[in-house]
Amino acid sequence: MESIRIAENIVQMTQEGQLMPTCLTALTGPDGLLLVDTGQRVGEEELRTAVANLGFEVPAFIINTHASLGNVGGNGAFGASPTILAHRGTRELMRGDSHLLAELPSEALPDIEIDGPMTLHFNGEEIRIVPMPGSHTPTDMIVHFVHAGVACVGDIYPGRFFPFSGLGGKAYEFPRVLREVAELLPAGTKLLYGHQPGPGSVDDFAEIIEMAEETIPSIRAGVEAGKDRQTLLDEGLPERWKHLDRPGASARGWIFYLFNDLSAPQPEQPSVLRPLYEAWKKDGTGEAIAAKFESLVAEGLDVDPAYERDLLRLGYWLLREQASPADAVAVFTLWGERYPESWNAFDSLAEGYVGLGKKELAIANYRKSLELNPDNENGKTELGKLGVEV
């Protein structure tokens, strides 16, 4: 992990991720080590090394700014030793399907959950922990090191790019929450963000608030006029906000979240992730996953578009975390068969074939993905790596 010293006893540590880095914070001193967030489960060994480099074996405290897997995934890296503190509802989310594939141990769950402000005195520091739910997730908190003049805001403001919501957060709440954070913190407080290394300030909020207050009404008007999500995605946002685009935090993602949050609630579809995961755990093959999905369909399951995400998550978990490209190919093949217009299914299937060393099949599926979506830049890049001109 890369480290940046923010104050005398505060260090920001950066863990590289697939789309963007994840930033953690360490408070050191005679009382021990306190961590704000712990990164991904797959980065546990890296986290333990970073903690050892700070001169500690285990943290005394871990504070999670919210329940997302990129923030709680390493909670179990030190066994039951640390006291873990989080917003009320975090334990429930960590036991749900959103965290299923991380296979977190019970030691990773919070020991203490709060739903109002609290103060912790540790290493001579006054640490104010303030719940700020509603925008990114329902479990957001800020962690304010009062004497050092430093505050961790997690993904309430993830960095200088489009924000994103999840786990029940509402994208249209970002302006309200950012204003509340700005009012709470003293002028000159150094802010540490969830996915952008280095310190910032509340002045950074102004641009995102302006963007949100311009685009939220326009997306709301589109929803009220009966426009569907694809129409709004095709219309896009004003060009002047293009510089806020990042992989994993794009204008299209912002539109996607707003459309979902502003639309009339849809009947919740039952998740297929857990039964498919359990089928793999029982038999250990991608074919078992496909067979389970087909049996669910035979029993009356409607093949809802929402299940694409479940197949994507499961396939990439098999490909990257379980190092099982053959099983991932079975899942991605099922995805393409059930959703033949999904360019992402064929892009993912191609990546699975790359993992198997089947170059020609990878090329064929990247080409299929580009036929369905000529703007798929990943497909173009990967074909180039395979020696194909696009």
Mean pLDDT of the chain: 94
> Do residue 299 and residue 188 come from a single domain?
no
Last residue of a domain, one of 202, 223, 253: 202
Share of the chain above pLDDT 70, in %: 97
> How many domains is the chain built from?
3
Cα distance between residue 135 and residue 175, in whole Å:
9
On the question of pLDDT at 302 being above 80, the answer is no
180, 227: one domain: no
268: in domain: no
pLDDT digits (tens, 9 = 90+) for 48-84: 999 999 999 999 999 999 999 999 999 999 999 999 9
Q: Domain range for residue 366? A: 273-385
* Strands 34-36 and 10-15, bridge-based pairing: unpaired
pLDDT by residue (tens digit) across 122-163? 999 999 999 999 999 999 999 999 999 999 999 999 999 999
- Residue ending a domain, choose from 202, 227, 246: 202
- Greatest Cα pair distance, the chain, in angstroms, is 62
| Rounded average pLDDT over 338-365 | 94
* Residue 121 placed within a domain: yes
234 with 190, same domain? no
> Taking the CA of residue 176 as centre, how many other CA atoms within 13 Å lie in the half-sphere pointing to its CB?
11
Q: Within a domain: residue 267? A: no
Q: Pick from 273, 291, 358, 356: which is nearest to 319 by CA?
A: 356
Q: Is residue 390 part of a domain?
A: no
- The yes-or-no verdict on residue 31 having pLDDT over 80 is yes
- Whether residue 118 sits in one domain with residue 95: yes
- pLDDT tens, position by position, 232-285: 999 999 999 999 998 788 898 999 999 999 998 866 666 789 999 999 999 989
Do residues 301 and 349 both lie within one domain? Answer: yes
Looking at residue 35, its amino acid is L
Which CATH number does the domain housing residue 7 bear? 3.60.15.10
Asked if residue 345 and residue 298 are part of one domain, the reply reads yes
Work out the percent of the chain whose per-residue pLDDT is above 90. Answer: 83
Residues 27 and 141 grouped into a single domain: yes
Is the pLDDT reported for residue 375 higher than 90? no
What pLDDT does 18 receive?
65
- Looking up residue 324, the CATH number of its domain turns out to be 1.25.40.10
